[in-house]
Amino acid sequence: MQAYLLHGGQGPAGLERCEQPEPTLGAHDVLVRVHAVALNHRDLTVANTPAARPPQVPCSDGAGVVIAVGAAVTRLQVGTRVMSSFFPLWLDGPPTPERTAIALGGRSPGMLAQCVALPDEAWVVVPDGLDDRQAATLPCAGVTAWSALFDADPARPGQSVLMLGTGGVSLWALQLGRAAGLQTIVTSSDDHKLERARQLGATATINYRTTPDWASAVRELTGGRGVDRVLETAGRETLAHSMAATRHGGTVAVIGGTSGWGGELDADAMIDRALRLQGVLVGSRTTAEALVRFVDAARIEPVIDRCFPFEQAREAYEYFATQRPFGKVVIDLA
Ligand SMILES: NC(=O)c1ccc[n+]([C@@H]2O[C@H](COP(=O)([O-])OP(=O)(O)OC[C@H]3O[C@@H](n4cnc5c(N)ncnc54)[C@H](OP(=O)(O)O)[C@@H]3O)[C@@H](O)[C@H]2O)c1
């Protein structure tokens, strides 16, 4: 079979397409023919980070169809459509070091291969309402957005939520929040993207480049109160502003660092306004299953910016890294 191996530290140029032996199947394993893989910010980080280990298959997010099952497998059968689970050992409950020890496409092999074998418990069944490309956009960005909105301290209809930028996690949160009856405020550096966010149902939008004090603009939009929740995906440049944009007793879901990792933690503001800062780490298979049910029931169509054929995986990475797409970048193996 064909697969990509990633030589870490070289960016997209570190992707090497090569012939690999088909995975061998243990008694509890399920072999999946991968039809689509979606890229995440993390895949660029992994590609740009030198790694001491031998090159390995990158990418956490993929979907396809079961083509063989081990002798002891009863949960899935040949023909079942499935997607990957970011942490294959985290089935349910809170995160633990054991459950999050393996993350696909990071320190462990991932999905950018024609066939992938993983234990049956590691796969999430995909409903007919989602095609393979759409399903591939869920495991990292979709599950993270769902966890930040609905896992601990779930958002309730009518509450307000702020998304920073229009990256993969933010767009998923916008679509989920909109379908769940939340007030959704979206920032972006690009007015054209803000227009598209409004078309997806954003209640209000702010250009964070032309309005550097966007936290005040968010407070104005919420009658001076601040939002109930921020999905803090941008990190270094934004954490302090996100806290300033949050209401008394509100939640800042700390997720990422598209502007650089870190950020200034204003402990006084946190205490004075009883803010809750909640770290988010993707989610379990049970969380992914809850997301899939909701997406199917609400008939949400994931936003896909562009698809590339398998042979052009490097171009897909380059495009994702340089073009600031609106929606997911997908690699098609079907
Ligand atoms: N903790 C977790 O479990 C978890 C899970 C998934 C992702 N993450 C992290 O969360 C972050 C988002 O991931 P992603 O895959 O959604 O990223 P992405 O798709 O690469 O997001 C890129 C977008 O970030 C926005 N951005 C950049 N600088 C910004 C700033 N200063 N203020 C506001 N927005 C800014 C830009 O939006 P505009 O073009 O609209 O300006 C850009 O298009 C990444 O750091 C990722 O590593 C963490």
Q: What is the CATH number of the domain that holds 173?
A: 3.40.50.720
Helix-strand-coil split of the chain, %, nearest 5: 30, 25, 45
Task: List Cβ neighbours of 307 (8 Å cut-off, separation of 6 or more).
Answer: 36, 133, 329, 330, 331, 332
Q: How confident is the model at residue 273 (pLDDT cuts 50, 70, 90)?
A: very high
Cβ–ligand 1 distance for 168 under 6 Å, the answer yes
Residue 209 and residue 244 in one domain:
yes
Q: What is the pLDDT of residues 138-173, one digit of tens each?
A: 999 999 999 999 998 899 999 999 999 999 999 999
CB-ligand 1 contact for 42 (6 Å cutoff): yes
Are 11 and 84 members of one domain?
Answer: yes
Q: Which atom of ligand 1 is nearest to the CA of 44?
A: 20
The pLDDT assigned to 189 comes to 98
* Contact between 259 and 238 (Cβ < 8 Å): yes
154 and 55 in a common domain: no
- Using a pLDDT cut of 90, give the percent of the chain over it: 97
Rounded to 10 deg, the angle between the 168-179 and 285-297 helix axes is 60
Q: pTM for the full model?
A: 0.98
> What total number of domains does the chain contain?
2
Q: How far apart are CA 10 and CA 6, in angstroms?
A: 9
Taking the centre of ligand 1 as the mean of its atom positions, its distance from the CA of residue 169, in whole angstroms, is 7
Which residue's C-alpha comes closest to atom 34 of ligand 1? 165
Residue of the CA atom closest to atom 9 of ligand 1: 256
Tell how far the Cα of 20 is from the centroid of ligand 1, in angstroms: 33
Q: Residues 124, 150: one domain?
A: no
Q: What is the CATH number of the domain that holds 52?
A: 3.90.180.10
Note whether residue 260 is domain-resident: yes
pLDDT in tens, 8-22: 999 999 999 999 999
Whether residue 174 sits in one domain with residue 125: no
For the CA of 320, the nearest atom of ligand 1:
20
Average pLDDT over residues 31-41: 98
For ligand 1, atom 27, the nearest C-alpha belongs to 258
Asked if residue 42 belongs to a domain, the reply is yes
Average pLDDT, whole number, for the chain?
A: 97
Token pair for 136: 């591939």
Residue 160 bridge partners (DSSP):
183
Identity of the residue numbered 275: L
Q: Is 250 in the pocket of ligand 1 (CB under 6 A)?
A: no
